[in-house]
């Protein structure tokens, strides 16, 4: 179970690092998304920073399970907020679903970490 927890944590971290770095670097698609959702580019970069920090935190699973679980829960809350923002912007569900999928992945990682600890 421990190997599954670490594997899923690494997968979740990769997803969030990719997303967060794209926001931090101001990828054109991310700038377009920030404008569409009503955020400034600066606010979107802060969200990207939270994603990268959460991804780094979730990788602490072999060293500090409580901190890793806290990071995973933070990522769940962050992505659930993103899901709600997409729905409030009247985006179709296909645009909001990835945020919900990321939240479910992070929640699964937190659950596996707790069970494996």
- Put simply, whether the predicted model's pTM sits higher than 0.85 gets the answer yes
pLDDT digits (tens, 9 = 90+) for 63-107: 999 999 999 999 999 999 999 999 999 999 999 999 999 999 999
d(CA 80, CA 101): 9
Cβ neighbors of 35 (< 8 A, separation 6 or more) are: none
**Closest of 3, 12, 8 to residue 79, by C-alpha:** 12
What are the distances in angstroms from CA 61 to CA 13, 17, 29, 96, 110? 11, 16, 32, 28, 9
User: Using CA of residue 80, residue 81, residue 82, residue 87, what is the dihedral sign?
Assistant: positive
With a cut of 90, say whether residue 16 has pLDDT above it: yes
Full domain range(s) for residue 55: 2-116
What are the distances in angstroms from CA 42 to CA 22, 24, 33, 82? 13, 9, 13, 16
- The total domain count for the chain is 1
**Pair 79, 51: CB distance under 8 Å:** no
pLDDT for the residue numbered 13? 97
Angle between helices 28-37 and 2-24 (to 10 degrees): 80
pLDDT digits (tens, 9 = 90+) for 18-38: 999 999 999 999 999 999 999
With a cut of 90, say whether residue 117 has pLDDT above it: no
């Amino acid at each position: 179970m421990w190997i599954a927890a670490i594997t899923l944590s690494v997968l979740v971290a990769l997803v969030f690092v990719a997303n967060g770095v794209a926001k931090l670097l101001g990828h054109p698609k991310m700038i377009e998304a920030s404008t569409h959702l009503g955020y400034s580019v600066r606010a979107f970069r802060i969200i990207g920073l939270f994603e990268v920090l959460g991804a780094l935190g979730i990788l602490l699973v072999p060293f500090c399970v409580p901190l890793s679980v806290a990071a995973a829960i933070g990522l769940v809350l962050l992505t659930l907020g993103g899901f709600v923002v997409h729905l409030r912007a009247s985006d179709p569900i296909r645009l909001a679903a990835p945020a919900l999928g990321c939240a479910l992945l992070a929640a699964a990682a937190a659950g596996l970490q707790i069970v494996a600890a």
